[in-house]
């Protein structure tokens, strides 16, 4: 049994956790930065990086104290090495390197997306490779065949915005505050999902790619029309996103081979309408369904420690000169989606 320390700092959460290779979370802590970013309505990279500098070391000390262990009891140190806001990634990775160097422990450089991709296996111990993964976060919206640790085939991606980004922009347009996803979900509970006609971009198209920029523009037009309650716009927007995610995932199910489970991970997987829609799709498709608990969907240290544990078990450790990366695709061979980069 190995004990892994995980450090996460790729966006606006500083997080640390201690996880065992048999899937026990001994401690996990998170320091959000919402208050620092709220006045700007979004994450400011410079502010994020400074906050990570202040919080990374105290959080590591806190999880060690929570678990009642010292650093010499840890078998390896895993830190996010990208993709993400480069200043923050550098802070977390440097912290991991310094601790690994000082304690004489192996360093594991974790791809943040692999942290999300493997997170369901921390709690669902029967979830076996290969599985079809819908990875939906603030920065990414992808369908992947997860064949094994470090072995991914990307089936689809977004040609413009990520799903979480669409939630955040809609929240901003409706004045619901920051962070946007949970605010839209709360507001949508009071609204009618059929009240506002909104588009379902790319639904029905052959390749299972996503597009959300047009939906955001339609939300702006609906708001400016002055005909609809914000609750109804939020509910109709959320329904449109769910419909897109379900249609595109259903399309991927028809073309992917070998997957026995449908899995959702990433911040948007915390949304109950998204989880419910995908669970129903899995049921209709004869697939097992797996989604991490809500705290494990949004960024956290346990998923980085767990990805570290999975890599450590395979002997995948990194050199001290491993770089921090702003971009780091899980499938380096994936082709660019047609139309990618074109914002509606």
Binding to ligand KG4 (CB under 6 A) within 265-294 occurs at 266-268, 270-271
CB of 106: closest distance to ligand KG4 in angstroms? 25
Q: Which DSSP string do the residues of 105-128 spell out, in sequence order?
A: --EEEEEHHHHHHHHHHHH-TT--
Closest listed residue to residue 29, CA positions, set 302, 267, 251, 246: 302
Rounded Cα distance, 161 and 173, in Å: 15
Q: Residue 82 interacts with ligand KG4 (CB under 6 A)?
A: no
Binding to Zn ion (CB under 5 A) within 244-303 occurs at 299
Segment interacting with ligand KG4 (CB under 6 A) among 34-42, 48-56, 146-154, 178-186: 178-186
Which is closer to ligand KG4, CB of 74 or CB of 152? 152
Sheet architecture: strand order including 76-82:
25-32, 13-20, 3-8, 76-82, 107-111
Rounded Cα distance, 337 and 339, in Å: 6
Choose among Zn ion, ligand KG4, none what residue 310 binds, the Cβ cut-off being 5 to 8 Å by kind. none
Return all residues near 68 (Cβ < 8 A) that are at least 6 apart. Answer: none
Q: Which DSSP string do the residues of 320-342 spell out, in sequence order?
A: TTPPP-S---S-TTPPPPTTTT-
CB of 115: closest distance to ligand KG4 in angstroms? 9
User: By CB under 6 A, how many residues form the interface with ligand KG4?
Assistant: 20
From 3, 11, 110, 309, residue interacting with ligand KG4 (rule: CB under 6 A):
11
> CB–CB of 238/184 below 8 Å?
yes
> CB–CB of 164/179 below 8 Å?
no
Q: Residue 182 interacts with ligand KG4 (CB under 6 A)?
A: yes
Tokens 């320390």, located at residue = 5
Segment interacting with ligand KG4 (CB under 6 A) among 173-181, 218-226, 318-326, 334-342: 173-181
Segment interacting with ligand KG4 (CB under 6 A) among 23-31, 35-43, 147-155, 164-172: 164-172
Rounded Cα distance, 178 and 170, in Å: 11
Segment interacting with ligand KG4 (CB under 6 A) among 134-142, 214-222, 249-257, 336-344: 134-142
Q: Residue 124 interacts with Zn ion (CB under 5 A)?
A: no
Give the length of the chain.
344
Q: Residue 181 interacts with ligand KG4 (CB under 6 A)?
A: yes
Phi, psi of 46 (to 5 degrees): -65, -45
From 278, 298, 305, 310, residue interacting with ligand KG4 (rule: CB under 6 A):
298
Q: Residue 119 interacts with ligand KG4 (CB under 6 A)?
A: no
Q: Residue 246 interacts with ligand KG4 (CB under 6 A)?
A: no
Tokens 């097992």, located at residue = 288
Choose among ligand KG4, Zn ion, none what residue 252 binds, the Cβ cut-off being 5 to 8 Å by kind. none
CB of 5: closest distance to Zn ion in angstroms? 19
Rounded Cα distance, 235 and 184, in Å: 8
Choose among Zn ion, ligand KG4, none what residue 96 binds, the Cβ cut-off being 5 to 8 Å by kind. none
Rounded Cα distance, 314 and 168, in Å: 37
What residues make contact with Zn ion under the rule CB under 5 A? 137, 299
What residues make contact with ligand KG4 under the rule CB under 6 A? 11, 137-139, 164-165, 167-168, 179-182, 185, 266-268, 270-271, 298-299
């Amino acid at each position: 049994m190995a004990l892994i320390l995980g450090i996460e700092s790729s966006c606006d959460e500083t997080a640390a956790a201690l996880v065992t290779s048999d899937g026990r979370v001994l401690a996990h802590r998170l320091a959000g930065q919402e208050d620092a970013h709220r006045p700007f309505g979004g994450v400011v990279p410079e502010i994020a990086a400074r906050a990570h500098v202040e919080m990374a070391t105290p959080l590591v000390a806190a999880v060690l104290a929570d678990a009642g262990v010292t650093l010499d009891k840890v078998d390896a140190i895993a830190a996010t090495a990208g993709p993400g806001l480069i200043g923050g990634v550098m802070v977390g990775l440097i912290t991991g390197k310094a601790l690994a160097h000082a304690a004489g422990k192996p360093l594991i450089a974790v791809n943040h997306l692999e942290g999300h991709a493997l997170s369901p296996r921390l709690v669902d111990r029967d979830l076996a490779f290969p599985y079809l993964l819908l990875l939906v976060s603030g920065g990414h919206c992808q369908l992947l065949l997860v064949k094994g640790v470090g072995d991914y085939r990307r089936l689809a991606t977004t040609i413009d915005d990520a799903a979480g980004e669409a939630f955040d922009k809609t929240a901003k347009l409706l004045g619901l505050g920051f962070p946007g996803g949970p605010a839209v979900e709360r507001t949508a509970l009071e609204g009618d999902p059929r009240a506002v006609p909104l588009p379902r971009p790319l639904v029905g198209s052959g390749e299972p790619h996503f597009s959300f920029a047009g939906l955001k523009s339609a939300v702006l037009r609906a708001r400016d029309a002055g005909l609809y309650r914000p609750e109804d716009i939020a509910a109709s927007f959320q329904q449109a996103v769910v419909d897109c995610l379900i249609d595109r995932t259903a399309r991927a199910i028809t073309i992917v081979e070998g997957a026995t489970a449908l899995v959702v991970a990433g911040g948007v997987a915390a949304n109950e309408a998204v989880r419910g829609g995908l669970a129903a799709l899995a049921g209709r498709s004869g697939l097992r369904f797996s989604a991490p608990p809500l705290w494990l969907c949004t960024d956290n240290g346990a998923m980085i420690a767990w990805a570290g544990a999975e890599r450590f078990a395979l002997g995948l450790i990194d050199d001290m000169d491993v770089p921090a990366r702003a971009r780091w695709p899980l499938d380096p061979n994936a082709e660019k989606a047609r139309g990618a980069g074109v914002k509606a």
